Amino acid sequence: MFKIEKKLKNKFGRVGEFITPNGIIKTPAFIVVGTKATVKSLSPEQVNNLGAQAVLGNTYHLYLQPGDDIIKKAGGLNKFMNWNGPTFTDSGGFQVFSLGEGFSSGENKFKSQKNILNRSLKISSKIQNVHTKLVKIKEDGVEFRSYIDGSKHYFTPEKSIEIQNNIGADIIFAFDECSSPSAEYDYQKEAMERTHRWAKRSLYYNNHHYLKNSGVQFPSSSNGNKQALFGIVQGGKFGDLRKKSAKVIGGMDFDGFGIGGSFSKEGLDETLRFVNGILPEEKIKHLLGIGEPIDLFIGIENGIDSFDCVSPTRIARTGMLYTKHGRINIIKAEYSRDFSKIEDDCECYTCKNYTKAYLSHLFRAQEMFASTLASIHNLYFIVNLVKNIRQSILDKNFYELKEKFLKKYYA
Amino acid sequence: MFKIEKKLKNKFGRVGEFITPNGIIKTPAFIVVGTKATVKSLSPEQVNNLGAQAVLGNTYHLYLQPGDDIIKKAGGLNKFMNWNGPTFTDSGGFQVFSLGEGFSSGENKFKSQKNILNRSLKISSKIQNVHTKLVKIKEDGVEFRSYIDGSKHYFTPEKSIEIQNNIGADIIFAFDECSSPSAEYDYQKEAMERTHRWAKRSLYYNNHHYLKNSGVQFPSSSNGNKQALFGIVQGGKFGDLRKKSAKVIGGMDFDGFGIGGSFSKEGLDETLRFVNGILPEEKIKHLLGIGEPIDLFIGIENGIDSFDCVSPTRIARTGMLYTKHGRINIIKAEYSRDFSKIEDDCECYTCKNYTKAYLSHLFRAQEMFASTLASIHNLYFIVNLVKNIRQSILDKNFYELKEKFLKKYYA
């Protein structure tokens, strides 16, 4: 259940609370990614201590490894990974289409949505070719190969929901086709329409499955609450398709909505405004896979209630750290004798206890604890930024915070 | 300062307390290894919570990376790595001789003392050759090459102590020549005699340095206490050399003693008995680089007060876990659906919160948190075993515990 507490004067941005079987998420919120039932290099206590409210696992990855049956037997995702707060799983759509074709080429071509945007023009024709070879899309579902061992698998909307029921997260997503950001209008339209039909099937299967299995205790729902199912709005960078998708998906009886796929950087603002203008206002909206500071401000200003993104932990593992003045690369020589903190006024565990010199040393020495400390700082930075934006809406100074923060960060 | 509280009836084994500038170590104690100023994959809080009392850093590694000057500027090892308990640094002797020659061959030939023992016959002639080429031993000191970049370095006893003064651990070791376990008697004797001369120089330099610099606040000694300097007994597997070394090193004014080098497995028991029979009884004795359960019992029974060993964390990172019934390899297929704990009655964080199936999954998925959870369990197992042995001496049932434990472990 989602409750809106306060709104920005633009009528889009809002502060709310989303009640899940495993706790309340105060929105807007940044959801920490724990792809394979672990937030990379962190203990659940470290994740909790840095202020994260919820963790998002990955349906595609967990299906392949360890297998959703194992997670179900373990008592669901929460128990399996020892995380006591709310959990999400995405539908696996993005990974099926991005990793499914990675096997033959030996590397994953889609590294992140940001990379795709940057590289879309160069690789578009190549990806389309590979897709037709290794990811076979039919009306019924998608055949793909495991990135681990090349084995063949078949996902349908029903299969995705079945897996997500087994994993038992509090919030699950309808199966969607996440097409290449470089796809032409005709293909994007076709994929979107298929996504709409799959959304309907996801919804039907989820409700039907529950009806059929009434009385069954689903893993995460120890209190008997049903998993929340979110529909995903697609349509890529085409405004009319986004509007259409928002209308169709928004008309279905989902508990909340995800907004997926790619945006042109300039268009995120406007796209979210009209998509969220069409989607039912009273329901929660999640922006999938996006988490750069500027995107967080744009998202929240335009009605996004939650975000997830691998970026804070992924860049952390390479030594890239967020600061109020932009990112720094801690491996640089200048930090090896810098005994100051990453940020003097940062309240994260890393900044309270370690110097840049120590972090720089750990990265040079390729010590695992480097990733832990850097991930804690970066996640705290983003989680806390969203928390501060939330507070700024309550305090009626969102626009001041936005201007002040972005000016410094992108100076 | 070392206080003996209670003795075993054999007059060798004992329970005591060693007072350091950063806290009291209750002995016998297992000292956790933090080679490069971090216990691999663990936070200092995790190290503390598993019951570890002290951490041992590595002089050779810390000199090369980040450099002892950086650790000194950071305020010493404790502050640098955020560890509030007692600290040790070894002399760097073992690493200079074992890693110093690794550069040209592209891999380190000495993986651990245990490996050396097993492989000694096969590689002896090769190592002697490489030694003469890449590690040049002179009366004054040793020239060696960095395993990181191949650069040339020169360690003398004075240099080793200077580095250890800079690093500022509570307990430091005299510089020794750790010769190959396969070395012939004549070479072993020559190396031992050099080690004795180096011990004298280490002691003189350390005292002289303190005298010369009186009033200087040494990094770890915020309360003004001097670092404790331990001499190292060598002599390899030759009984008469061990006796000679114990007599000479034991006659010098060290605060405690390390026993280094290699032992024949059968001879550890007897060797420790006569070495510790010669060394001053009232001083603390540390067995360097040894930490298998059976060795802990043998060591403690024969007067060893502390141990350090990389084994618990090193094998943890490969998925090998200690149990009362011996080691298990958690990556094995049989554990992927095993929802029991590693050990039902283990009180470590890992066993209290995670199943074998989860650990097995993390290892297969190559997640960093696998190393963290496995290291916590293995270190807890060993630290707690030594704690239990300590208690058994106080409770007068050491021999019962020894028999019961070893019977089950090596069944």
Domain boundary among A309, A327, A360: A309
pTM of the model: 0.91
Q: Please tell me whether residues B268 and B338 are part of one structural domain.
A: no
The tokens for B241 are 């050399």
Residue A166: band (very low, low, confident or very high) from pLDDT cuts 50, 70, 90:
very high
Q: Please tell me whether residues B339 and B275 are part of one structural domain.
A: no
Q: Please tell me whether residues A182 and A330 are part of one structural domain.
A: no
* β-sheet bridge partners, residue A320: A329
Q: Please tell me whether residues B299 and B323 are part of one structural domain.
A: no
C-alpha B222/C-alpha B93 separation (Å) is 27
Of A130-144, A202-216, B304-318, where does the model show the most confidence?
B304-318
How many domains would you assign to chain B? 2
CB A226 within 8 A of CB A276: no
Catalytic residue among B68, B90, B170, B255: B90
Cis peptide before B86 (omega within 30 of 0): no
A101's enclosing H/E stretch is none
Q: At what angle do helices B293-301 and B398-409 cross, to 10 degrees?
A: 160
Residue pLDDT tens, chain B, 411 long? 899 999 999 999 999 999 999 999 999 999 999 999 999 999 999 999 999 999 999 999 999 999 999 999 999 999 999 999 999 999 888 888 777 543 334 334 333 333 433 333 333 444 444 444 578 899 999 998 888 888 999 999 999 999 999 999 999 999 999 888 888 899 999 999 999 999 999 999 998 876 565 444 443 443 446 899 999 999 999 999 999 999 999 999 999 999 998 887 668 999 999 999 999 999 999 999 999 999 999 999 999 999 999 999 999 999 999 999 999 999 999 999 999 999 999 999 999 999 999 999 999 999 999 999 999 999 999 999 999 999 999 999 999 999 999 999 998
Nearest Cβ partner for B41 among A37, A365, A369:
A369
DSSP state of A317: T
ipTM: 0.91
Q: Please tell me whether residues A322 and A305 are part of one structural domain.
A: no
Q: How many C-beta neighbours within 10 Å does residue B212 have?
A: 9
Chain B residues in contact with A362 by the CB 8 A cut-off are 36, 38
Say if the Cβ atoms of B357 and A42 lie within 8 Å.
no
Q: Please tell me whether residues B176 and B31 are part of one structural domain.
A: yes
C-alpha B118/C-alpha B129 separation (Å) is 19
**Residue A234 annotated as lining a ligand binding site:** yes
Three-state secondary structure readout of A389-401: HHHHHHCCCHHHH
Q: Please tell me whether residues B208 and B287 are part of one structural domain.
A: yes
Domain boundary among A243, A276, A309: A309
Q: Please tell me whether residues A121 and A238 are part of one structural domain.
A: yes
A36 touches chain B (CB under 8 A): yes
- State the best of A361, A363, A372 to mutate against chain B, taking most chain B CBs within 10 Å: A361
Q: Please tell me whether residues B132 and B10 are part of one structural domain.
A: yes
Instruction: Report the pLDDT value the prediction gives residue B159, as an integer from 0 to 100.
Output: 95
Say if the Cβ atoms of B43 and A369 lie within 8 Å.
yes
A142's enclosing H/E stretch is strand A142-145
Domain boundary among A257, A289, A309: A309
A149 given a catalytic annotation:
no
Catalytic residue among A90, A255, A295, A305: A90
CB A294 within 8 A of CB A13: no
Say if the Cβ atoms of A73 and B362 lie within 8 Å.
no
Closest of B9, B11, B8, B29 to residue B256, by C-alpha: B29
Say if the Cβ atoms of B74 and A371 lie within 8 Å.
no
Mapping DSSP to helix (H, G, I), strand (E, B) and coil, where does residue B19 land? strand
Cα three-residue angle B194-B197-B199, rounded to 5 degrees: 105
- pLDDT per position as a tens digit, A334-352: 999 999 999 999 999 999 9
- pLDDT per position as a tens digit, A43-63: 999 999 999 999 999 999 999
Scanning every residue of chain A, which has its alpha carbon at the shortest distance from the alpha carbon of B358? A80
B40 touches chain A (CB under 8 A): yes
- pLDDT per position as a tens digit, A287-342: 999 999 999 999 999 999 999 999 999 999 999 999 999 999 999 999 999 999 99
B404 touches chain A (CB under 8 A): no
C-alpha A260/C-alpha A95 separation (Å) is 12
Q: Can you give the residue range of the structural domain that contains A17?
A: 2-309
DSSP state of B267: G
C-alpha A184/C-alpha B189 separation (Å) is 80
Amino acid identity, position A384: N
- Rounded to an integer, the average pLDDT of A185-197 is 95
B68 given a catalytic annotation:
no
B80 touches chain A (CB under 8 A): yes
Q: Please tell me whether residues A359 and A218 are part of one structural domain.
A: no
DSSP state of A334: G
Instruction: Report the pLDDT value the prediction gives residue A182, as an integer from 0 to 100.
Output: 82
Chain A residues in contact with B70 by the CB 8 A cut-off are 336-337, 357, 361
Give chain B's end-to-end CA distance (angstroms, integer): 40
Q: How many C-beta neighbours within 10 Å does residue A17 have?
A: 16
**Residue A253 annotated as lining a ligand binding site:** no
Q: Please tell me whether residues B106 and B192 are part of one structural domain.
A: yes
- pLDDT per position as a tens digit, A256-287: 999 998 887 668 999 999 999 999 999 999 99
A253: domain CATH number is 3.20.20.105
CB A35 within 8 A of CB A312: no
Q: Please tell me whether residues A278 and A394 are part of one structural domain.
A: no
